Amino acid sequence: MNERQLDADRVELVGEQTDLPGPGPMVDGPDAPGQLLDLARAAAGIGTFDWDLTTGTLHWDDRLLELFGLDATTFNRTIEGFNSRLHPEDLDRVTRLLQKAIDTCGDYEAEYRVLHTDGSLRWVAARGRALCDKAGITVRVLGAAWDVTARRDAQDRAEHAAARERLLNRIISELNGSLDGDEAVGRLAQLVVPVLADWCILTLVDDQELPVPVAGCGRPAPGTPTRTCARSPTPTPRAGSGRSPRTRSP
């Protein structure tokens, strides 16, 4: 092999290398801002919606469909389809907030619970804005939504822990200030419901080591203004038994 042949081989090798695939399209040009926005939304798990009020069509992207446990074949692209996934206790509030944004051509902000067909529940936060035509009539509502279930669950746990602590402090204070045993156990049952349970029954052990219900209280029935509570005479505990009242909850 002479020098000329070696150089030719080198040139041919370089030519083969330049035919390798490049790194892919660059994020540049007029579409760059849109591409970057799409990347940011995907990274944050944010879904988007576009409600056309002139046609009634509600457009959701894939991420928002996923948040609601739906897909392009199961979502009918109407506000009724959205409402059907809301927790019944949140529906009226969310509807009022949306209507206010439409009436004032203003902003929309809400947090609500979404019910999936498998029985699971997700918390979703949404922000949006109503857009008006030249006549001042709202024609579209644009916005975004994202999953806040973890934050809401942590918030609920903190609130429940604080409520239990306040209850225990109140129980200790009231029991320490009472000299009547019957009144004390009856009051204890009332304090427990509904902070710790929907119902509570307190029992004491009598002189034959048998548990005897002495007080009970339950959450009010629908249409009933007060809790249902009852108290029986407190049995005389067995000397030295040291048994304490018991509570039961479902």
Q: What is the DSSP string of 99-160?
A: HHHHHHT-EEEEEEEEE-TTS-EEEEEEEEEEEE-TTS-EEEEEEEEEE-HHHHHHHHHHHH
Residue 25 lies in a domain: no
Indicate the pLDDT class of residue 26, thresholds 50, 70 and 90: very low
Same domain, residue pair 110 and 199: no
Same domain, residue pair 186 and 161: yes
Percent of the chain with pLDDT over 70: 58
In 3-state terms, what secondary structure has residue 67? helix
Q: How many whole angstroms separate alpha carbon 35 and alpha carbon 43?
A: 12
Contact 184/202 with Cβ under 8 angstroms?
Answer: no
Contact 67/114 with Cβ under 8 angstroms?
Answer: yes
Residue 16 lies in a domain: no
Mean pLDDT of the chain: 75
Least confident of 19-23, 90-94, 185-189, 191-195: 19-23
Q: How many domains does the chain have?
A: 2
pLDDT value for 249: 42
**Measuring CA to CA, how many Å separate 173 from each of 110, 159, 184?**
40, 21, 11
pLDDT value for 58: 97
Segment 208-232 shows an average pLDDT of: 62
Residue 246 lies in a domain: no
Least confident of 13-27, 39-53, 213-227: 13-27
Q: How many whole angstroms separate alpha carbon 18 and alpha carbon 20?
A: 5
Same domain, residue pair 142 and 215: no
Residue 59 lies in a domain: yes
Is 246 a residue whose pLDDT tops 50? no
Identify which has the larger pLDDT, 39 or 241.
39
Segment 191-200 shows an average pLDDT of: 70
Is 250 a residue whose pLDDT tops 90? no
Same domain, residue pair 143 and 158: no
CATH number at residue 137: 3.30.450.20
Residue 10 lies in a domain: no
Strand 47-52, strand 138-147: pairing: antiparallel
Identify which has the larger pLDDT, 52 or 21.
52
Question: At which of 147, 181, 203 does a domain end?
Answer: 147
Same domain, residue pair 131 and 186: no
Question: At which of 116, 147, 178 does a domain end?
Answer: 147
Task: Say which DSSP state 40 is in.
Answer: H
Tokens (6 digits) for 221: 């029935």
- Domain extent, residue 206, equals 154-231
Same domain, residue pair 82 and 137: yes
Same domain, residue pair 49 and 139: yes
Is 46 a residue whose pLDDT tops 70? yes
β-bridge mates for residue 48, sequence order: 144
